[in-house]
Chains A and B, each alone.
Chain A
């Protein structure tokens, strides 16, 4: 009995030890076996697809699109997708529709894309209903139609498509219908959509600070940068029932900034510059300002322009300041537009050019800058770059005075009633 046991044990050990001689499991051989198996699968798929099986045609299209088991080929992917779609296979209709809509791998044909999306959506494919709803909303491939868009989004959302629920919620919000939006946003939020959690928090910002805090913190913890930013601001300023906690604010601001959220890049710079919640550090402040400026964020470009003009924390350099100022003005900074106007008006660091000064003053004035309005008045009053025209000058002084600019009121002899001094 014992010897039999020993023999069995020996045989087992021998089998285990000998196994590698019969089954080589080296990576090369595994890959070879996998490739052979994949090739057989592809061959089977080709054969079924050629004999008109729409699901096989769809799978073959995906294989060509992704280069799985065969060389990637966008044209062949589109060919098999179309075959499958024509046989009524909804996922193929959806993918073909999207490709035509966006011009992926095929020539863009938005109207035809919509046709295929519609066919898939009618077969109740939630992704197709969502895509169709959004495309119709944006007027891509079809006339914009809010009601039809809503109907398709609702169908998709009812099937549990969280993105459709969120889109529908946002659409209803834009219709100023928060009560109707809320259940859809909640549906999307329950599915973990951070945009929806954030939108709900913003809905609660008026009158429900407790709800705001809970939802904003949830969205921030989900890594949603706008929520991290809003939470940071609330901590720094002590809003929504949060106790003022600049250190906590700086922490959330950094998280949002590290995700490249533009406002956070700028505000983190400000926290460093002012030492709010973090140790004051001008070098770091300007590093973050430059990161925000790299995204053409106008306040950051303007801040850097001022800093380089004064040598405040950075090298004093008029050319650099002027470059930042120009970019800030082009990006819509009213202050930068006015400042450029002043430089051209006075010929400070640039050749005096009243036409350019007028152009920048007018751009700033169009954004409601009273100083720019007053400056335009001066150009007209003095005939600088334009024909001298006191009536026109007065019109501009009036505009500035109506916005409360003291020097404009003074030049109009400090009228008690501005409407009397400046008839419309």
Chain B
């Protein structure tokens, strides 16, 4: 994951009615580089980030850090033969993982990790 990830609009929207929607939008704009989608795979081997939906499960603030628990619905494909002119279509598998976000209320800096079961 990229260092120095920021979710400034979410930090700004904290404690407002727009927080969930804002955070959703910021998360859904992130991709494979910023989110642990690849590590969260369970049914496929290569994560895709084009059809991702974030669901905010819970959020609370302690000592200036907003702790967020979110679920990510996305898809992945099973990497297989990619032989020359093989027309076999790649089938998407539904994937889901949960993440924990530590969002610094003041700076908007965020650290995202895969939630351990």
Q: Name the contact of A74 in the complex, choosing from B56, B57, B81 (C-beta under 8 A).
A: B81
A320 touches B87 (CB 8 A): no
A319 nearest in chain B by CB position? B20
Q: Mark A304-320, 1 if CB is under 8 A from B, else 0.
A: 00000000001101111
| Interface assignment of B96: CB less than 8 Å from any CB of chain A | yes
Q: How far is the CA of A323 from the CA of B86 in the complex (A)?
A: 38
B59 touches A315 (CB 8 A): yes
**Which residues of A are found within 8 Å of B87, using beta-carbon distances?**
103, 107-108
CB of A320 within 8 A of CB of B83, answer: no
Among residues 282 to 338 in chain A, which have CB atoms less than 8 Å away from a CB atom of chain B? Answer: 290, 293-296, 314-315, 317-320, 323-324, 327
Tell me if B73 is interfacial: C-beta within 8 Å of chain A.
yes
A296 touches B53 (CB 8 A): no
Given A296-B94, A317-B20: A107 touches B58 (CB 8 Å cut-off): no
Asked whether, in the complex, the Cβ of B55 is within 8 Å of the Cβ of A323, the reply is yes
Q: Which of chain B's residues 76-114 have a Cβ closer than 8 Å to chain A?
A: 81, 83, 85-88, 94, 96, 98
Return chain B residues, CB-CB under 8 Å to A382: none
A294 in contact with B81 given A108-B88, A314-B58, A324-B55 (CB within 8 Å): no
The contact of B55 among A103, A106, A320, by CB within 8 Å, is A320
Q: Are B73 and A103 closer than 8 Å at their CB atoms?
A: no
Do A290 and B58 have beta carbons less than 8 Å apart?
no
Query: Given the complex of chains A and B, what is the CA–CA distance between A92 and B60 in angstroms?
Result: 62
Nearest neighbor of B69 in chain A, beta-carbon distance: A315
Say yes or no: B73 contacts A320, CB within 8 Å.
Answer: no
Cross-chain contact of A294 among B24, B83, B96 (Cβ < 8 A): B96
Which residues of A from 128 to 143 have beta carbons under 8 Å from B?
none
Q: Kindly identify which residue among B53, B58, B96 contacts A323, using a CB–CB cutoff of 8 Å.
A: B53
Q: Check A88 for interface membership: any CB of B closer than 8 A.
A: no
Chain A CB within 8 A of B21 CB:
yes
Flag if B71 contacts A294 (CB, 8 Å): yes
Q: When A and B form their complex, what is the total count of cross-chain residue pairs whose Cβ atoms lie within 8 Å?
A: 54
Q: Closest approach, in angstroms, between the C-beta of A394 and any C-beta of chain B? A: 40
- Known A294-B96, A319-B21; contact A106-B59, beta-carbon cutoff 8 A: no
Tell me, yes or no, whether A104 is within 8 Å of chain B by CB.
yes
Most buried by B among A74, A75, A317, A324: A317
Hey, what's the 0/1 contact readout for A93-135 against B, CB within 8 Å counting as 1?
0000000001111111000000000000000000000000000
CB distance from A66 to the nearest CB of B (A): 14
Chain B's closest residue to A103 (CB) is B88
A327 touches B83 (CB 8 A): no
Knowing A290-B98, A314-B57 touch, does A319 contact B83 (C-beta < 8 A)?
no
A103, B71: Cα distance in complex, Å = 35
Q: Please, how many angstroms separate the alpha-carbon atoms of A324 and B24 in the complex?
A: 13
Residues on B with C-beta less than 8 A from A105 are 81, 83
When C-beta atoms are compared, the residue in chain A nearest to B21 turns out to be A319
Within the complex, the shortest CB–CB distance from A321 to chain B, in Å, comes to: 10
- Whether B20 lies near A74 (C-beta < 8 A) is no
- Chain B residues with CB below 8 A from A314, complex form: 57-58
- For the complex, what is the distance from the CA of A1 to the CA of B113, rounded to whole Å? 80
Q: In the complex, what residues of A have CB within 8 A of residue B57's CB?
A: 290, 314-315, 320
18 contacts between A and B (CB under 8 A): A74-B81, A74-B83, A75-B83, A102-B88, A103-B86, A103-B87, A104-B81, A107-B86, A108-B86, A108-B87, A290-B57, A294-B73, A314-B57, A317-B20, A318-B20, A319-B20, A319-B56, A324-B55
What would 4 more interface pairs be, CB under 8 Å, given A294-B71, A319-B56? A106-B83, A314-B57, A320-B55, A323-B53
The 7 closest A-B pairs by CB, nearest first: A294-B96, A319-B20, A103-B88, A315-B58, A323-B55, A320-B56, A108-B88
